[in-house]
Structure 1
Amino acid sequence: MRPPTPYTCHRCLNTVVKSSRATPAPRVLSTQFALRRDISTGRKNVSSTTSSTMADARISGPAADRRSASSLGYARGAQQEDADNSRSLLQPNNLFHPLSISPSPDMRKRGKFIKQNAYCPHPDHRQTRMPMNPNDPEARKTGVVPPKHVGFECPDCGIPVSCSEEHWADDYEAHLEICDALREINEDDHDLRSGRFFPEFEYPGENIEEAMVNMTNWDTFLFSREFEALNTERSLRQATRLLTYPVTIGSVLHELSPYNIKKGGRLTVEGLKSLSALRYTLHPAKSGAGMGIKGLRPNPPPVRLFILGARAESSLPRSVWVQLTHLFPRATFHLIFIGPESMLNRDNEFPLPDRTPSNPFGATVEDRVTSGMKISTFVEYYHTLHEAGQFYPYDPYFDCFVCFHPGFGHPASSHEWSQTVPKLLETKVPVIVTGYTQYDMQRDIDWIKETNGGEMDILMEPGENKFRSMRWDLNDFDPQDISCGNWGVWAFRGKRYETTKKDSKT
């Protein structure tokens, strides 16, 4: 009987088996094979001759599967050896590898990049920059030793974290606070390059109208939307890393949103006013529309979601963004990615069009992504488009701004938002913002209040996002800096002043 192959579909396997049977069997060489044990992983690795033998044993059909590895000796060459080494990542229990000796070339390249750019965090070194916040590891550095790049990989997490083994051992207690998270990042990145089939990236279509979506947390959302069962924490982390972007927006705008005006719901009175307008548009009543002449009804314009400072979110697979339309099946969307990096590394996919009188800002338009979604991309700053009246007029019933990790108050990026934020406040349209930490979000709020004279209404208090990414991300320039996408969420808009009529009677 054919052994189970959890990472290869049976149709492909049958094709390989038939092709291997049709070719003549190679000559068997009598050689001795030496096995060596890898100390870091505790697994057995075979020499180049043995690895080629094992590769042939896997593709020679059921009869070869029953043979002993030591009885076969097919010399296939270096190419087959490399292919066999990549196969070692396929097993879920063999995902941990130090970056310097990783079977994945991408991971080895990443390890070299970290060693060339990251600095040792030991307190004996001098600071290389000003600390960004009180919890910044850079604030611990009070010594006089010159800064030095990391070069020693922690044997527990496989990430270069110190300049030497002595500094790693001396500062081991501080490293333990993030060691488990770094090892998790290491294994998750190797899992993405393992070549296995990812059922967590298979997304369901529309639900039946009677099936309500439960927006309490990730588990209830995935279950009520009928996603494939995610039986491991790693699969959940990989799935939420992409879905966090559309689901975060949907969780704030949905009528069954976990954020409400009740105690602990974090929604303010002004937030209820603004979001009620959007929810009225996103959840329209049945109009009796149909395919026939009698079923013709006027359709409202699409809801425009302006995603400012777009980076990674603009290059997400479109099937991820389509999940937003499944949360609001009666509404249509126009996603507008805006920012100088919104087409980064996508030139081969969508070459930037020329700027012409009919397309003055060189917008890239993806029409009919689905029947309910259209996507446009502008490689330009928002304040330039706003001053040109590109999207005028704005309607609080149909428009919403979204900023994923904008860094309004971050010293390195605040100058880029100094002209954009006042334009956002002028529109009086809700702005949904996410952040990496509570400190990051509060810094953004304080910066907006200081630079715009308090002309801001908080719609939702800052706090942890119920649909944040469950996977940790590593800053290659500083391995001590780990974060997860969309950890927190809050919302604001330009302040509205209520006018009152003076009573003429005395």
Structure 2
Amino acid sequence: MRISSSSPYTCQRCLSAISQSTRTSQYPVRSRVAWTQRCFSSTPRHASSLPVTPVTAQAAARRKVKSTEKRAASSVSAQPKTDSLTFQGSGQPNAPPTNTERPLLMPNNLFHKFSESPSPEIRRRAAFIKQNALCPHPDHRQSRLPMNPDDPEAKKSASGGLPPAHVDFECPDCGIPISCSEEHWADDYESHLEICDTLREINEDDHDLRSGRFFPEFEYPPDQIEEAMVNMTNWDTFLFSREFKAINDERSLRQATRLLTYPVTIASVLHELSPYNIKKDGRLTVEGLKSLSALRYTLHPPRTGGGPDVKGLRPAPPPMRIFILGARAESSLPREVWVQLTHLFPRVAFHLIFIGPESMTNREAEFPLPERTPANPFGAVVEDRLTSYLKISTFVEYYHTLHQAGHFYPYDPYFDCFMLFHPGLGHPASSHEWQETIPQLLETKVPILVTGYTEYDMKRDIDWVKETVGGEMDMLMEPGENRFRSLRWDINDLDPQDVSCGNWGVWAFRGKRYETTRKDPE
């Protein structure tokens, strides 16, 4: 559909709205909703001879549609008729739902107990919590060593007392299984009040994702002119200056930031208008300014005067490589979310490299892993036609194996950067996986950005790195709260008391660089 800007009957604002509505998207809103339901309704990360075939965006979309239709058909045939509910809580007659896979809930009817939820997925989640989570009441004895001072296990005695018991009673205020009995819930109600409101918010957000409503907050704007500067002070200024559609509801804002926190966290540190600076309380160190200045020299290049004709040909620099190690949910983000990173740096090409044994979890039907051949020794899945400025490669392998093979050598501090989302460097269950990787990362002298679920999680990672590598690291950015953290909270299904949010804190470090000095001749 072609729209003329000189129409005498339509104003310019209406024309722009019509043109945006007619623009087709490679990644529909429904896929982003389904991804959020799949990836963020479970436990956090620590609870546990053919060449490379490029995967085009069109092929990815076709595969995603086929797999979605197949899953929808199987789920509809397997679900009883009582799972398909109509609008509730409204004064109008109930209308049949347009999608029998999900119930339709109104905004004023989002709170339900997990075991009595109209969504079968949440009911299965409630059964999983009751089967695995333990009652936090101090009358029970410890089932494991406390992970941190705020761990409910720290209040229990190491010996004596009642044996550990699984949770079974759902709090009537938050609707989440929290205690083994009503008596223990009432007796420990004062400590539960500290997180009860947050748990209720999580409950309503999870039901909102499955409410069947339309999600305008998952519609992202295209690129904009470079003269329109982006304000990275906080989420509100960023969304406004990036020309997102107005989000006037706090719940919609929480859903939107849960996805956008990954690319925007990277951009907020690397961008020349970053809120983290070397001024007082800016958290950036002198060494951090040196490293980020090199990256910003690449990310904000001067205009070359190039054009579409032969005379306008100019040599193009190599793409900016961002290595995302320990990738899990972030590797399966809808690609339109990662495209937002290219809109913030319009003159730079990006190559995102997801590395980790769980980087293709729940995506086998979408992208079958290729065979490992001499031409593709690590079975990489390459998506190189997303946009002209973005390429994504996924390696289901540990980074230290790729590093020892020299697969990404050489590294350049002007074109390379490492990103670790909630790596769990100091977590007892995952620190052994990073024992060999961290020294290799320091050898590259490339900036390493790290996020954490909570302040304690972030501090534990820093202490572990310092103990592991000693004085061989330079702190680039002091640890602190991430301005672009996810505004939505999540719970650990293995421990409902464990409440966290994505990318709560951010800090950065790199391998120590030694300055050489010339010795004066005698």
Match of 1:132 in 2: 147
Q: Report the alpha carbon displacement of residue 84 of structure 1 after superposing the two structures with TM.
A: 8.6
Q: Report the alpha carbon displacement of residue 448 of structure 1 after superposing the two structures with TM.
A: 1.2
Q: Report the alpha carbon displacement of residue 270 of structure 1 after superposing the two structures with TM.
A: 0.2
**Equivalent runs, 1:284-433 vs 2, <5 Å:** 284-433=301-450
1:107 and 2:122 aligned: yes
Match of 2:454 in 1: 437
1:260 to 277, 280, 294: 277
Contact 1:122/1:171, CA 8 A, preserved across alignment = yes
| Other structure's SS at 2:438 match | helix
Match of 2:513 in 1: 496
In angstroms, what is the RMSD of aligned CA positions? 2.5
| Other structure's SS at 1:90 match | coil
Match of 2:131 in 1: 116
Alignment size in residue pairs: 440
Contact 2:323/2:354, CA 8 A, preserved across alignment = yes
Q: For 1:280-306, what per-residue CA distance to the aligned partner results, in whole angstroms no more than 9, with x for missing partners?
A: 000000000110011100000000000
1:477 and 2:494 aligned: yes
Match of 1:235 in 2: 252
Match of 2:179 in 1: 162
Contact 1:241/1:470, CA 8 A, preserved across alignment = yes
Q: For 1:77-108, what per-residue CA distance to the aligned partner results, in whole angstroms no more than 9, with x for missing partners?
A: xxx79989965x43100000001110000010
Contact 1:448/1:454, CA 8 A, preserved across alignment = no
The letter for the 1-side match of 2:261 is T
Moved over 4 A (4+): 51-55, 80-87
Contact 2:102/2:210, CA 8 A, preserved across alignment = no
Q: 1:499 to 1:54 in 2, by over 3 A?
A: closer
Q: Report the alpha carbon displacement of residue 133 of structure 1 after superposing the two structures with TM.
A: 1.0
Q: 1:345 to 1:52 in 2, by over 3 A?
A: closer
Match of 1:274 in 2: 291
Q: Distance in 2 between matches of 1:328 and 1:182?
A: 37
Q: 1:146 to 1:263 in 2, by over 3 A?
A: same
The letter for the 1-side match of 2:166 is H
Q: Report the alpha carbon displacement of residue 136 of structure 1 after superposing the two structures with TM.
A: 1.2
Name which structure has the greater RCO, CA cutoff 8 Å, separation 6+.
Answer: 2
Q: Distance in 2 between matches of 1:405 and 1:177?
A: 24
Q: Distance in 2 between matches of 1:479 and 1:370?
A: 40
Contact 2:452/2:503, CA 8 A, preserved across alignment = yes
1:91 and 2:106 aligned: yes
Q: Provide TM-score, normalisation by structure 2.
A: 0.81
Q: Percent identity?
A: 78
Contact 2:321/2:350, CA 8 A, preserved across alignment = yes
The letter for the 2-side match of 1:425 is L
| Other structure's SS at 1:285 match | coil
| Other structure's SS at 1:482 match | strand
Match of 1:152 in 2: 169
Q: For 1:324-350, what per-residue CA distance to the aligned partner results, in whole angstroms no more than 9, with x for missing partners?
A: 000000101000000000001100000
Q: 1:290 to 1:159 in 2, by over 3 A?
A: same
Q: 1:82 to 1:217 in 2, by over 3 A?
A: closer
Q: Distance in 2 between matches of 1:383 and 1:475?
A: 29
| Other structure's SS at 1:115 match | helix
Q: Report the alpha carbon displacement of residue 454 of structure 1 after superposing the two structures with TM.
A: 1.9
| Other structure's SS at 1:205 match | coil
Structure 2 residues without counterparts, runs of 5 or longer? 1-20, 22-80
Q: Distance in 1 between matches of 2:241 and 2:369?
A: 39
Contact 2:349/2:389, CA 8 A, preserved across alignment = yes
Structure 1 residues without counterparts, runs of 5 or longer? 1-8, 10-48, 59-64, 75-79
